[in-house]
């Protein structure tokens, strides 16, 4: 993240002067900690576009001078860091860890391992600590990863699933099924779930991939409405007016090709794909509204993960939470991740899905997939509550 035009000789000179200051000046331990904490704060709040880069570079010098004493504060700085700040923190941590190793010193293993095991910390920071400590302690993987199958970090879960899959692939039939089932319970990546499902189905087991990922598969859909010349994305049609006014949806509207009514659309796809073009019709230059209800037993913070090649808007309980006006880009599962706050009871999800008039073969997809998950990407089904939110609610009582 360093500015390449920054004179590489100056940081070394400045670091030497700063080190001399710490050695000779009557600096208290509190002053030292304050200097380190302030340097971490500067990096954590870094802005995009190189703003404040000189101040950031001076902060790096302060932290490099502090050496291994700055490693834990750097990790803690990830909690509220900006995306640019995370890059500065990561690069600085890695540089200091490398310097510690070059001096044949040890990283603070006990503190780092405790940090890794604390799932309340930033997943990115925990992974950074793990990868750094792994270079010093190759046995760390076998000691920690098996217990991380249900971790809050996707990367740690992936590692734990991979270890189980190695065992399952080498095991006898009955034991293999048990191991595959256990691996599936923690799997949050599409490729791993697909591989596990293939193995289990080959063994005669039933696997519901859609349910595992928490896809919403039942929708009420109405349309088509006019999106010719791509004007419909910004236009408010009747269902959207009712949504904004908290009114009940009507049974019938004036659509692009005549009267339209709500109808049920059910996805049978493993990955929850709702295919307008395949299940209804590829109405070129049109848009559709789709709605579904998701019941939550408590108020909780979850994520809505959506993939589509079409332009779209998403409302949760009448509030617009995300929109993207882009047509026929590549699509994949979890393409967009939208943090949402769900209320106790039924929550109304509404999607506005827009198709344009392009006629090329690659412009014919008219579909989306939407699922509800926790922050690690594990599917959450209606009626379920993720543990941290349940605990938070109990604490509030």
Q: Is 141 within 8 Å of 130 (Cβ atoms)?
A: no
CA angle 95, 27, 22 (to 5 degrees): 40
Residue 4 has pLDDT above 60, yes or no: no
The string of pLDDT tens digits covering residues 350-364 is 999 999 999 999 899
Cis omega before residue 224 (within 30°)?
Answer: yes
Q: Give the pLDDT confidence score for residue 271 in this predicted structure.
A: 98
The string of pLDDT tens digits covering residues 99-157 is 999 998 999 999 999 999 999 999 999 999 999 999 999 999 999 999 999 999 999 99
Distance linking the first and last C-alpha atoms of the chain: 46
Average pLDDT estimate for 290-301: 97
CA proximity to 273, closest of 256, 255, 296, 290: 290
Percent helix, strand, coil in the chain, to 5, is: 50, 20, 30
Angle subtended by helix axes 83-102 and 29-44, to nearest 10: 130
The string of pLDDT tens digits covering residues 50-104 is 666 889 999 999 999 999 999 999 999 999 999 999 999 999 999 999 999 999 8
Q: Give the pLDDT confidence score for residue 52 in this predicted structure.
A: 61
- Burial of residue 51, with CB atoms counted within 10 A of its CB: 0-12 exposed, 13-18 middle, 19 or more buried: exposed
The string of pLDDT tens digits covering residues 237-286 is 999 999 877 677 888 999 999 999 999 999 999 999 999 999 999 999 99
Rounded CA separation 96/16 (Å): 15
């Amino acid at each position: 993240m360093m500015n390449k035009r920054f004179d590489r000789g100056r940081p070394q000179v400045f670091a030497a002067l700063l080190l001399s200051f710490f050695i000779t000046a009557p600096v208290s331990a509190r002053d030292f900690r304050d200097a380190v904490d302030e340097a971490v704060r500067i990096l954590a709040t870094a802005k995009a576009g190189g703003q404040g880069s000189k101040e950031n570079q001076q902060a790096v010098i302060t932290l490099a001078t502090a050496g291994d004493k700055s490693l834990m504060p750097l990790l803690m700085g990830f909690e509220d860091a900006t995306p640019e700040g995370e890059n500065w923190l990561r690069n600085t941590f890695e540089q200091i860890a490398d310097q510690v190793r070059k001096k044949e010193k040890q990283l603070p293993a006990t503190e780092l391992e405790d940090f890794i095991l604390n799932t309340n910390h930033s997943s990115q920071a925990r992974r950074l600590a793990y990868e750094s400590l792994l270079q010093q302690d190759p046995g760390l993987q076998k000691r920690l990863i098996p217990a991380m199958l249900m971790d809050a970090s996707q990367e740690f879960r992936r590692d734990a699933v991979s270890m189980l899959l190695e065992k399952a692939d080498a095991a006898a039939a009955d034991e293999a099924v048990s191991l595959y089932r256990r691996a599936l319970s923690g799997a949050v990546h599409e490729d791993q779930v697909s591989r596990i499902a293939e193995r289990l189905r080959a063994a005669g087991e039933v696997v519901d991939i859609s349910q595992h990922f928490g896809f919403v598969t039942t929708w009420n859909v109405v349309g088509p409405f006019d999106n010719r010349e791509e004007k419909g994305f910004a236009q408010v049609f009747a269902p959207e007016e009712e949504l904004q006014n908290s009114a009940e949806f009507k049974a019938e509207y004036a659509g692009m090709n005549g009267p339209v009514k709500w109808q049920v659309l059910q996805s049978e796809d493993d990955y929850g794909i709702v295919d307008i073009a395949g299940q209804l019709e590829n109405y070129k230059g049109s848009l559709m509204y789709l709605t579904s209800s998701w019941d939550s037993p408590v108020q909780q913070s979850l994520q809505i993960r959506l993939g589509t090649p079409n332009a779209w808007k998403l409302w949760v309980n009448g509030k617009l939470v995300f929109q993207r006006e882009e047509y026929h880009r590549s699509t994949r599962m979890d393409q967009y991740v939208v943090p949402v706050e769900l209320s106790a009871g039924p929550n109304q999800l509404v999607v506005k899905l827009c198709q344009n008039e392009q006629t090329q073969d690659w412009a014919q997809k008219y579909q989306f997939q939407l699922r509800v998950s926790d922050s690690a990407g594990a599917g959450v089904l209606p009626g379920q509550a993720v543990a941290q939110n349940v605990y938070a609610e109990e604490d509030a009582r």
